[in-house]
Amino acid sequence: MLRKKTGGLARRTARTGLISDISNKSVDRRAFLRGSGLAIGGLAAISATGGTVTQASAAGAVKGAVETVKSVCTHCSVGCTVIAEVSNGVWIGQEPGWDSPFNLGAHCAKGAAVREHAHGERRLKYPMKKEGGEWKRISWEQAIDEVGDKMLASRDAHGPDSVYWLGSAKHNNEQAYLFRKFAAYWGTNNVDHQARICHSTTVAGVANTWGYGAMTNSYNDIHNSRAIFVIGGNPAEAHPVSLLHLLKAKEQNNAPVIVCDPRFTRTAAHADEYVRFRPGTDVALVWGILWHIFENGWEDKEFIRTRVWGMDQIKEEVAKWTPEEVERVTGAPGSQLERVARTMANNRPGTVIWCMGGTQHTNGNNNTRAYCVLQLALGNMGTSGGGTNIFRGHDNVQGATDLGVLSHTLPGYYGLSAGAWAHWARVWGEDLDWLKAQFHSEGSGEDAKNLMNSTGIPVSRWIDGVLEDPENIDQPDNVKVMVLWGHAPNSQTRMTEMKTAMEKLDTLVVVDPFPTVSAVLHDRTDGVYLLPAATQFETRGSVTASNRSLQWRDKIMEPLFEAKTDHEIIGLFANKFGFADRLFRNIEMEDENTPVVESVTREFNRGMWTVGYTGQSPERMKLHMANQHTFDRTTLQAIGGPADGDYYGMPWPCWGTADMKHPGTPNLYDMSKPVSKGGLTFRARFGVERDGDNLLAEGVYSAGSEIQDGYPEFTYQMLKDLGWHTDLTNEERAFIAKAAGVEGFADYTKEVGEAGMSPFPSDFDDQVAKVNWKTDLSGGIQRVAIAHECAPFGNAKARAVVWTFPDPVPLHREPLYTPRYDLVADYPTYEDKKFYRLPTLYKSIQAKDFSGEYPIILTSGRLVEYEGGGDETRSNPWLAELQQDMFVEINPRDANNLGVRDGAQVWVEGPEGGKVKVMAMLTERVAPGVAFMPFHFGGHFQGEDQRSKYPEGADPYVLGESTNTAQTYGYDSVTQMQETKSTLCKIVAA
């Protein structure tokens, strides 16, 4: 039962009876056990005095000092603190962090089992290569040498884009940043990571609506919500500890919980209103809700007038979505959606939460924008308790996205334009011409093309990079060498074609703590390398939780076996390729291969101005971790103590340099606070005018703003127009001069300024006029704008209509493999097109009706016990025990019609021929005509157990078929997100 917490603070446990006798000291489970006389075995040996180092005092299993080390769970984006107990370098026990405002002493099964993840006996223990069909142990020297030589040979023969660097949401921020920089130095944009296939449609949709592509508020801020609307998300399993925060709002505020999902999930079990709808019809559903809002005048008209552009065009589209049409398309009754609309209208502010159920569609960007429009219409944005709380998946998928492990941008969402490269070359101190020469270029004069400015192949399509006719690819040749670095291939669709692609490659390289399905999916006998990477518990560094807060992990233990940290492996390759001196030019080194982690943080601090990753120095992050107890559990703000006023983890944007001490931004676009104290406006990134309309905010502004209206983003010229440019110091001006390419000021020193000299010529202002808040490496433009309480990025309206996207107004479009072929004429998919270097099919697939032969919708999702492709968690004995069988959920009506009984083996086959043999689970969680499979399994392929193909002792405890073997083609029209939530299948008894 939930208890009301005194003063909003969670207690470690109810201090009644026995526990209250244990003084006022911090009490944890071990102290409780000792005090209660319940302690057994080695537990009794461990003191719990609250210090960081305690002495074992009794005979027991543990001898010597027990050190506690603070880290962060690596299994989801909630960011729960893990307290590790370490003795003589051995991780002997763990506790959840009670002081963390994110988890308040809670862990889910995965978090509670992370020690086994690090100490796992099924890990890769040393580098290996496959030779003559056998796995052979090799040294690191041999591995780097051989792999490096093959890459260099491929580069010579086929160009730098023939090597694909697939990175990871498991990198910490420093590793993610280095990985992206490393790919740039190698000379390719064929670099990407899991974000492409989990929330790329969120990032694109949300950023193009109001500025930034991230969760706007936080898990904790949900405490303030008056209504909670979850669509396409199952946080009870995917983000279990987040339920603490949702249920607090439900209990404390009587906040109604509405869950819209094709499947009655464990989250739906907590709902006041469960809306079942057909997979792939999110836009129709949301427009169906908005229809009632507009019909009844429940929209927030003043908010729309002052802060939103394009809502009139949305209204025109929504008018078509009458209750009858919505029910025809989605299956959800109009009367229910009227009730949902009324509930949302009567309980403001409400929050909207979504996950991959909404994002993984061919029109996923339409879905995410429709969710945003719902919140804009209700006036729920920029307010505590409102917002779009988009729960990211992996622990650092937010950070790896921010740091640009993506094929379409450099770190900080700067893109790939010439200006973006110039910016990062300045941060890196690199010769831009040298960088250019690393990339493939062709043509001359006006026809000159350098692939450094061209989006690379996204991870969702790497198999097409290998298999497609090279004539059809916008790069010189196919991908020949594939590096899967912390990536589970079974999290991707079309696995039968992936097998072919893996077999066609010249070389396949896996860098991971576990062998992953990449080690066994193919039938290769040679040319596969497995390099053991360390987990995040064997290094230190920062990690960004879903709410944009940065936390610091300390190192718990040295890398096990022969594992190496990602940043050391990057260093080894950089040395092999001969550019380590350049790559680490401004970074302190522990040795020739290993950068000092804090020094890497400081380098990205110097360049990440766009999203405000500039104020979170290692020192500030460590201070927050050490003083977690001083932060409020709801506002996340420190109350007194050494971080007084800061928001926990300095959620980005944390403007300016660390010296500026910006507290971070807890809720994006919240104008009730001054910008200097975490307030914000909507970002002005789409111009100032559209079709004669003003795109800037109308007469509204953040608290204390000296500009009391909308305004564009800040440039030097704008500062000058306002007369604020004189606030810049001479040192800042020198940096600005450098950004503008003005010669002669780069050597400006403080001494010159203090001597009263003015090294700036009379036309200085004209020369630097265009330098803006994103490219000024001094942070001066940001500092001055914020000193006048203005947002560096301007004050604009959100745009409900994204005129740069294929569907400016979000439209419903039937999935490529639709069970409702009768709707295709009204709601067709897109024309085939080429983008991200590859031809991409839409209409040519939808041209055929597959619904007769494949009558059941196939969708997929997460289980609480496992994560991602599942290799780590299925190799963890504590978790593997909990869920040992891969299964398919089938409605009893379908099962009975098919002659399938609960627990029986069935074949699930997709329309592209991929099929899996799994156990049938009969359940009404899914509707008739819908089947669900979890996506964490691997190691079986189309009925065959592949256990014998793993290196000895490195096979996960639990193997199973991958749902993605049966999953099909389909990619979002903007981001190339894969479609995994709405395809078709047939099911037959095995």
Judged by CB under 6 A, the residue of 111, 595, 779, 780 near ligand SF4 is: 111
Rounded least distance, CB 241 to ligand SF4, Å: 4
Rounded least distance, CB 542 to ligand SF4, Å: 15
Closer Cβ to ligand SF4, 110 or 276, answer by number: 110
Closer Cβ to ligand SF4, 536 or 702, answer by number: 536
Closest CA to 568 of 551, 591, 548, 599: 591
Judged by CB under 6 A, the residue of 30, 171, 239, 633 near ligand SF4 is: 239
Residue 728 CA to chain centroid, in angstroms? 36
Closer Cβ to ligand SF4, 76 or 791, answer by number: 76
Residues in the chain: 990
Rounded least distance, CB 421 to ligand SF4, Å: 36
Rounded least distance, CB 533 to ligand SF4, Å: 20
Closer Cβ to ligand SF4, 62 or 80, answer by number: 80
Number of Cβ within a 10 Å radius of residue 129 = 21
């909670």: which residue's tokens? 228
Rounded least distance, CB 464 to ligand SF4, Å: 33
Judged by CB under 6 A, the residue of 44, 45, 84, 108 near ligand SF4 is: 108
Binding mask 60-89 for ligand SF4 (x = CB under 6 A): -------------x-xx-xxx---------
**What is the residue-wise DSSP string for 239-255?**
STTHHHHHHHHHHHS--
Cα–Cα distance between 436 and 413 in angstroms, integer? 20
- Of 100-108, 214-222, 375-383, 401-409, which part binds ligand SF4 (CB under 6 A)? 100-108
Rounded least distance, CB 195 to ligand SF4, Å: 17
Dmax (CA) for the chain in angstroms is 90
Rounded least distance, CB 543 to ligand SF4, Å: 10
Closer Cβ to ligand SF4, 109 or 752, answer by number: 109
Closest CA to 698 of 667, 380, 689: 689
- Is residue 322 classed exposed, middle or buried when 0-12, 13-18 and 19+ CB atoms within 10 A define those classes? middle
Judged by CB under 6 A, the residue of 103, 366, 507, 782 near ligand SF4 is: 103
Closer Cβ to ligand SF4, 240 or 280, answer by number: 240
> Amino acid identity, residue 127?
P
Judged by CB under 6 A, the residue of 110, 223, 461, 799 near ligand SF4 is: 110
Cβ(72)–Cβ(551) under 8 Å? yes
Closest CA to 936 of 855, 984, 988, 864: 864
Rounded least distance, CB 242 to ligand SF4, Å: 7
Rounded least distance, CB 865 to ligand SF4, Å: 10
Closer Cβ to ligand SF4, 110 or 181, answer by number: 110
Judged by CB under 6 A, the residue of 101, 105, 205, 240 near ligand SF4 is: 240
- Of 18-26, 53-61, 233-241, 414-422, which part binds ligand SF4 (CB under 6 A)? 233-241
Closer Cβ to ligand SF4, 272 or 554, answer by number: 554
Judged by CB under 6 A, the residue of 30, 34, 70, 107 near ligand SF4 is: 107
Cα–Cα distance between 943 and 928 in angstroms, integer? 26
> What values do phi and psi take at 716, rounded to 5?
-60, -40
Cβ(672)–Cβ(679) under 8 Å? yes
The pair of structure tokens assigned to 824 is 């295709």
Ramachandran region of residue 62, left (φ > 0), alpha (ψ -120 to 50) or beta?
A: beta
By the rule CB under 6 A, 550 interacts with ligand SF4: no
């500062």: which residue's tokens? 719
How many amino acids of this chain bind ligand SF4 (CB under 6 A)? 14
Which residues between 706 and 725 bind ligand SF4 (CB under 6 A)? none
Cα–Cα distance between 99 and 629 in angstroms, integer? 5
Closest CA to 893 of 855, 936, 943, 853: 855
Rounded least distance, CB 14 to ligand SF4, Å: 22
Rounded least distance, CB 72 to ligand SF4, Å: 7
- Of 32-40, 63-71, 108-116, 413-421, which part binds ligand SF4 (CB under 6 A)? 108-116
Q: How far is CA 3 from CA 180, 250, 252, 632, 701, in A?
A: 46, 13, 10, 18, 39
Judged by CB under 6 A, the residue of 62, 230, 241, 987 near ligand SF4 is: 241
Which residues between 349 and 388 bind ligand SF4 (CB under 6 A)? none
Q: Within 13 Å of residue 806, how many CA atoms lie on the same side as its CB?
A: 22
The pair of structure tokens assigned to 220 is 């904790």
Rounded least distance, CB 243 to ligand SF4, Å: 9
Cα–Cα distance between 236 and 261 in angstroms, integer? 13
Closer Cβ to ligand SF4, 81 or 409, answer by number: 81
Rounded least distance, CB 698 to ligand SF4, Å: 41
Closer Cβ to ligand SF4, 108 or 166, answer by number: 108
**E-strand stretches of 789-937:** 798-799, 833-835, 838-840, 856-861, 887-890, 905-909, 915-922, 930-934
Which residues between 877 and 906 bind ligand SF4 (CB under 6 A)? none
Cβ(84)–Cβ(68) under 8 Å? yes
Rounded least distance, CB 627 to ligand SF4, Å: 20
Q: How far is CA 930 from CA 233, 234, 494, 925, in A?
A: 17, 17, 20, 10
Closer Cβ to ligand SF4, 163 or 241, answer by number: 241
Cα–Cα distance between 111 and 152 in angstroms, integer? 41
Q: Which residues pair with 275 in a beta bridge?
A: 260
């219409």: which residue's tokens? 377
> What values do phi and psi take at 492, rounded to 5?
-115, 150
Cβ(525)–Cβ(132) under 8 Å? yes
Q: Within 13 Å of residue 983, how many CA atoms lie on the same side as its CB?
A: 28
Closer Cβ to ligand SF4, 236 or 696, answer by number: 236
Rounded least distance, CB 76 to ligand SF4, Å: 3
By the rule CB under 6 A, 522 interacts with ligand SF4: no
Residue nearest to ligand SF4 (CB): 111
The pair of structure tokens assigned to 275 is 């809306």
Cα–Cα distance between 571 and 599 in angstroms, integer? 14
Closer Cβ to ligand SF4, 114 or 796, answer by number: 114
Closer Cβ to ligand SF4, 753 or 877, answer by number: 877
Cα–Cα distance between 247 and 241 in angstroms, integer? 10
Closer Cβ to ligand SF4, 199 or 499, answer by number: 199
Closer Cβ to ligand SF4, 116 or 979, answer by number: 116
By the rule CB under 6 A, 244 interacts with ligand SF4: no
Closer Cβ to ligand SF4, 34 or 239, answer by number: 239
- Of 29-37, 102-110, 495-503, 780-788, which part binds ligand SF4 (CB under 6 A)? 102-110
Closer Cβ to ligand SF4, 87 or 242, answer by number: 242
Binding mask 20-59 for ligand SF4 (x = CB under 6 A): ----------------------------------------
């660097």: which residue's tokens? 165
- End-to-end Cα separation, the chain, in angstroms: 44
**What is the residue-wise DSSP string for 9-28?**
PPPSS---TTGGGS-SS---
Cα–Cα distance between 528 and 128 in angstroms, integer? 8
Per CB under 6 A, residues contacting ligand SF4 are: 73, 75-76, 78-80, 103, 107-108, 110-111, 239-241
